[in-house]
Amino acid sequence: MKRRLIATICCIMALCVLSGCLLAREDVGRNAFDDRLIGVFITTEFIDLFDFESFLSENIRDFRGGEINVDGNAQAYQGRLYATQIPRTLIDEETGEAMQTVDFIFEGIDGIMFLVLPIIETTEFEGRGYAIMADDAINNVNIGTNVGDDFRNSTRSGTIHIAQHNKDKVIYLNPVYQRADGSVYLESGSGASLFGDGVIITQSEEASTTITENGKTKTDNISFSISAEIMFAPEKIIILQMDANNSLISQTEYEPDAMPETLALETNTAYLIVETHSRDNAGILNISRKIYDSGDEYIETFFARADGFCVKHQTQITWDITKA
């Protein structure tokens, strides 16, 4: 089953840390664009792209029995899995304007996509920005750019939440690259095991290239990091509406994956108590509570998908402005 990708076009100006630093146009024909690191594809199974048949046929004369060691020249036989590009139209809910975008699908492989594609200066967008394509299991996305005279360091990070019963899975970060012709491919990545309650691990992929901007050569460093956090899968969400005297006005129970998009509050509601009910490994009920007041615009809750990843959901709160 293919994951539903949420393509969010997000124009984020690059952060220039040096006073007076200007956004520069990248020169055509720069020497390292063919292999730009644009993201990671997260899987719970190892993607084996090693061409063992070619390795064996070309190195059989060096084989003397026992174990076959491929460490010395393994990179030459590492394969690539190219993505299928599927055009898609996005509609701006406010303006009704249509925007053309592309989904990248790695056929036959389940995984979580996290891509950040650079937007070069155009007549519509002056400056540098990014198109973010992220599965809805990617939370807390953060993008930063640090520019100097001879370098540009770009960092991209996000968090995935994994239901406790899937804690023994191995998480693989498979790097995704884009070539100058627009084609996108991934390579086999490294894995990390998740063990223990409440564990948090962080994995990273990074790449460095040399680029030329305005006739000057600089190093372009790009890194992607993903933090994986174990959490108990929510079983139900209860919302308590309370008045200014701390008396209960209403109580509503929701399935975690059925939280509403918006919530209109009762007239006298002064604050909310949101309870998340879950169970630990021993089956003992765990209830966490969070208070929301008139300064909050959204309720944040989680629900567990069938693949074991937990997705954050935001419910917009509509406060009754007529209340005393």
Q: What is the pLDDT along the chain (324 residues), one digit of tens a residue?
A: 333 333 333 333 322 222 222 233 333 333 344 688 999 999 988 888 865 565 566 666 665 555 555 555 555 556 889 999 888 887 877 788 887 778 889 988 999 999 988 765 444 444 456 788 899 999 999 988 888 878 888 899 999 999 887 767 788 899 999 988 889 999 988 877 765 555 567 777 888 877 776 777 888 888 999 988 888 999 999 999 999 999 999 999 999 999 999 999 999 999 999 999 999 888 899 999 999 999 999 999 999 999 889 999 999 999 986 654
pLDDT at 4: 35
pLDDT at 88: 81
Residue 224 lies inside a defined structural domain of this protein: yes
Residue 58 lies inside a defined structural domain of this protein: no
End residue of a domain, out of 185, 210, 231: 231
Residue 94 lies inside a defined structural domain of this protein: yes
pLDDT at 55: 58
Parent domain of 116: 5-47+78-231
Claim to verify: residue 143 and residue 18 sit in the same structural domain: yes
Residue 64 lies inside a defined structural domain of this protein: no
pLDDT at 269: 95
Claim to verify: residue 152 and residue 270 sit in the same structural domain: no
pLDDT at 100: 76
Q: Which amino acid is at 30?
A: R
Tally of domains in the chain: 2
Claim to verify: residue 256 and residue 226 sit in the same structural domain: no
Claim to verify: residue 99 and residue 205 sit in the same structural domain: yes
Claim to verify: residue 37 and residue 115 sit in the same structural domain: yes
End-to-end CA distance of the chain: 50
Residue 262 lies inside a defined structural domain of this protein: yes
Asked whether 181 and 34 are in contact (CB, 8 A), the reply is: no
Claim to verify: residue 85 and residue 227 sit in the same structural domain: yes
What backbone torsions phi and psi does residue 154 show, to the nearest 5 degrees? -115, 130
Claim to verify: residue 244 and residue 214 sit in the same structural domain: no
**Residue 305 CB partners (closer than 8 Å, separation 6+):** 137, 311
Neighbours of 179 (CB within 10 A): 14
pLDDT at 125: 43
pTM: 0.75
Residue 163 lies inside a defined structural domain of this protein: yes
pLDDT tens, residue by residue, 104-114: 899 889 999 99
**Strand bridging mode 309-318 / 262-264:** parallel
Decide: residue 256, CB within 10 A, 0-12 exposed, 13-18 middle, 19+ buried.
buried
Residue 305 lies inside a defined structural domain of this protein: yes
pLDDT at 21: 27
Claim to verify: residue 206 and residue 250 sit in the same structural domain: no
Residue 61 lies inside a defined structural domain of this protein: no
Claim to verify: residue 195 and residue 303 sit in the same structural domain: no
